[in-house]
Chains A and B, each alone.
Chain A
Amino acid sequence: ETAVFQTPNYHVTQVGNEVSFNCKQTLGHDTMYWYKQDSKKLLKIMFSYNNKQLIVNETVPRRFSPQSSDKAHLNLRIKSVEPEDSAVYLCASSPRTGGLNQDTQYFGPGTRLLVL
């Protein structure tokens, strides 16, 4: 099966803990993304990687760090979570990047994080 897979589906943790989310795509794409969907349902880009190279790094707190071991994997680590980190984190991939990117982005099911 070719798709974008995310683990875990749901994670509950306490303020100050470290969490890590995994994303794997089996579509053979070169570019992967992390988006955050907050409580107001707004989806915003956080990071984008092309062939293991960081190409988009929006203004996110430094406690967020993406990690890419190869072009099929893009994990997200959050050191010392805060209550405002409670959200759904969506991973996506697309065939290529650069220029006027017409390529469709394919999304995973998301990881819901609840910080108590």
Chain B
Amino acid sequence: GDSVTQTEGQVTVSESKSLIINCTYSATSIGYPNLFWYVRYPGEGLQLLLKVITAGQKGSSRGFEATYNKEATSFHLQKASVQESDSAVYYCALNTEGADRLTFGKGTQLIIQP
């Protein structure tokens, strides 16, 4: 079946420093999957941060970027300068043709140090 791997359960970054959260995926269906980053801020529900449906394209939102790399089967999340308000849990996810569901990674908790 489909799978998404986030290698870091927790990442700690100092405020104003750059961030990268790793995500790789495996999709068994024919064709390329849609890729998503969801975020859960403290006390809030899971919400979409960005999505990319075309291989090779980049998605961006709130200063975050992720590029759909089909060769490396990766969709890493990056930000040039993090803020305290970025503290949250970030989930990488995918869906594939005919699959009426999202497949999630385990999530990465981002902690921002002042």
- A: which residues have CB within 8 A of B? 4, 31, 33, 35, 40-45, 48, 50, 55-56, 58, 90, 92, 97-102, 104-110
Q: A43-B91, A100-B34 are in contact. Are A107 and B100 (CB under 8 A)?
A: no
- The 10 A-B residue pairs whose C-beta atoms are closest, nearest first, are A45-B101, A107-B46, A43-B104, A109-B45, A100-B97, A97-B100, A104-B48, A107-B45, A48-B100, A56-B100
Q: Main SS of the interface on chain B? A: loop
12 A-B pairs besides A41-B107, A48-B100, A100-B31 with CB distance below 8 A are A42-B106, A43-B104, A44-B104, A45-B101, A45-B102, A45-B103, A98-B100, A100-B95, A106-B48, A107-B38, A107-B46, A107-B47
> What chain A residues lie within 8 Å of B63 (beta carbons)?
none
* Interchain CB contact under 8 A, B101 and A99: no
- Is the CB of B51 closer than 8 A to any CB of chain A? yes
